[in-house]
Amino acid sequence: MNVRAVVAGIALLVFTVSLIGIVVGAIGLYYAYTQESYVEFVTGLRFIALYSIAALLSLPIILSLRRVQTGIIEGFVIIAVSWLVLPLISAVSYMVTVGFSFVDAYFESISGFTGTGLTVMESPQDMPKTVLLWRAITQWIGELGVVVVSGTFLPLLHRVIKGIYEVERGARIAPTIIATTRRLFTIYVVFTFIGTLVLVAGGMNLFDALTHSMTAIATGGFSTRSESIGYWSWSRVVVVGTMAISIIGAFNFADNDLLIRGRFRELIHSSELRWFLALLTMLVLATGAAYVVYESELEPLNAFYIGVYHAISGMTTTGFQVDDLSHTADQIKALLVLGMVIGGCTFSTAGGLKIKRVAIALKNVAWEAASYFIPPTMMLRRRLGREPVDDAYIRSVYNFIFVYITTLGTISISISVLGYSFIDSLFETASALSCVGLSVGVTSMKAPLAVKLLLITAMYLGRIEFLPLYIAVGRLYARKLRVT
């Protein structure tokens, strides 16, 4: 492993985030000027000061190591470390602006960068707009990938960017990595802009529309209101608009590229998209029906409507809410857990197991059953759509599912031991591990320290898909093999 390449990669990501933090601080000063707000003025200055220091510390490292090239191994380490370092810097901004404790500030930061949306901020509407904008931006750049932003605006550092991108995103929709990052960024901006226009038309002011569009396309779910989208439940345009943006955010970026280019004939042949829409439809109908049956105090049509929204919010891993989930029936919580565990498409901003893995796991049941009835001389062709699936990929799918379920169960049991019901513990853990943000009330500033640390661990592992565990187990096993 090239340590210099690891240092250069982490410094690059820190520098990128720092530049964005400076811009957010400058916008805060603009708010201070237009609203004559001393709080916004101080908040903006502190953002500029903090992120200027971070930029000045990381810039010399980048300049001195700009010619090193990161490989896959370095990329793994950079991703594993940077997803701890970037929230750490962001945590300082919460501490110096709104007075959060370190743990609460780190919780809010890692929830932002991982696109989870669980929050300990009790009244977002009372916070400075600079802080609210920063929360939205952490989800926006975190789910797209900080390395994608780096590749878009700092293409001269492509040597450093290469290995990080291959681990963080991997897939390409253009001939080169830099061209891919630019196209991804363009797609992201276009859908964010469209979403903002829709939400403004639905009655949101421009600031709320922009921040919610950013967190919807990022399938993040941070809101500027403690009631989340429920604050705008009177507006069908806002409710339906956020559902639509969230669904698009859960699409594979390659499919979104086809969508934005109007290549619908190719789009409808996407096997993962068809699986996603089919599973989402089944979950939506089941959850809507469960709301009608178990939430009998609600008018049936309204109950179905709320169920549909939360099912979409859960499976797209967005985390917006239109109603309080803390007193919802356990049967409904179980359905939402299922949706959160499944998640959205691969190569998207969504979390969870991902549709491709779920589809292959389900199809492999049919493949294995069919293998008992075909002659030994016949080879069974295994495909997902037009893509061939080999044994190695099937093993990797089952390995990931095993690690995910084991982690989900372990953390859920640990939280339930602290005095919460198991279904609530399972719900909150699934929300954190799949980077969703739906909450039944376990997450709060008053939650025990152990609960916050467990959920931080779940958010971290879920966002980087257990990379640290794979690195640790892989290195230990490799050493064992060398010894034996």
Read off the pLDDT of residues 276-319 as tens digits, 9 standing for 90 and up: 999 999 999 999 999 999 998 999 999 999 999 999 999 999 99
Do residues 192 and 106 make contact, with C-beta atoms less than 8 angstroms apart? no
Instruction: Tokens for 376, please give them.
Output: 């030994």
The pLDDT assigned to 225 comes to 97
Do residues 253 and 187 make contact, with C-beta atoms less than 8 angstroms apart? yes
The pLDDT assigned to 45 comes to 97
pLDDT in 10s for each residue of the chain, 484 residues: 799 999 999 999 999 999 999 999 999 999 999 998 999 999 999 999 999 999 999 999 999 998 899 988 899 999 999 999 999 999 999 999 999 999 999 999 999 999 999 999 999 999 999 999 999 999 999 999 999 999 999 998 999 999 999 988 888 999 999 999 999 999 999 999 999 999 999 999 999 999 999 999 999 999 999 999 999 999 999 999 999 999 999 999 999 999 999 999 999 999 999 999 999 999 999 999 999 999 989 999 999 999 999 999 999 999 999 999 999 999 999 999 999 999 999 999 999 999 999 999 999 999 999 888 888 878 888 999 889 999 999 999 999 999 999 999 999 999 999 999 999 999 999 999 999 999 999 999 999 999 999 999 999 999 999 887 777 777 777 777 775 5
197/246 Cα distance (integer angstroms): 15
Place of tokens 């594979």: 252
Radius of gyration (Cα) for the chain, nearest Å? 22
The pLDDT assigned to 483 comes to 59
Cβ count within 10 A of residue 478: 10
Q: Which amino acid is at 5?
A: A
Of the candidates 118, 62, 113, the one whose C-alpha atom is nearest the C-alpha of residue 321 is 118
> What's this model's pTM, rounded to 2 decimal places?
0.96
34/341 Cα distance (integer angstroms): 44
Torsion angles phi and psi, residue 387, rounded to 5: -95, 125
Of the candidates 20, 49, 51, the one whose C-alpha atom is nearest the C-alpha of residue 149 is 20
- How far, in whole angstroms, is CA 409 from its chain's centroid? 21
330/233 Cα distance (integer angstroms): 24
The per-residue pLDDT for range 432-478, each reduced to its tens digit, is 999 999 999 999 999 999 999 999 999 999 999 988 777 777 777 77
Q: Is 233 helix (H, G, I), strand (E, B) or coil?
A: coil
Instruction: Tokens for 449, please give them.
Output: 């320290």
